[in-house]
Amino acid sequence: MELEELGIREECGVFGCIASGEWPTQLDVPHVITLGLVGLQHRGQESAGIVTSDGSSVPTFKSHKGMGLVNHVFTEDNLKKLYVSNLGIGHTRYATTGKCELENCQPFVVETLHGKIAVAHNGELVNAARLRKKISYCLQPWSSVISIYILLVQESPTPVLGTGTSLWLVRNQATQQEVSASASWYWSVYKF
């Protein structure tokens, strides 16, 4: 029996890169992410995007997205514009919901109550209907899976933490306890 007959198929590709060491790093983060996306191209051919950041407490975000294959979306010129970074995420899209439009191209940079984050995902939230009800006071009927997840994360209670512990990491871990995902999520969190 073929995999597609079993309902098994690939949906989107997500790739992240973090360069260690002193800034500026010797690693060309945008090119590494592009190569990763080329390797994941079979998982999504509709659009591709990359968001990079310097990871500082007041982050600088650079983003480039486009419709089509990775090698059509990214050129040397637009990759140079992404090079302010020592970390970033990339995404190739295969739509399961939503239209095939640039506005649905990931990763997204989102302003939250606690600062900006960049997020990309692959898959669906299995319990999205229950989660929508939980946060219905601030959702529109068209709210996406990413909107639901971000609202859940930002609404998570702020725990008392030790020095150097990321509030976003703890919020994300708490949210993961509530979410049933048939997905992989990659969060590039720049505001701690």
Which residues are designated catalytic?
Answer: 12
Alpha-carbon distance of 129 to 141, in angstroms, equals 11
CB atoms within 10 A of CB 89: 24
CB atoms within 10 A of CB 32: 16
Q: How far from chain centre, in Å, is Cα 189?
A: 10
β-strands 61-67, 47-53 pairing: antiparallel
Residue of 145, 167, 184 whose CA lies nearest to 16: 184
Six-digit token pair at 58? 């007041």
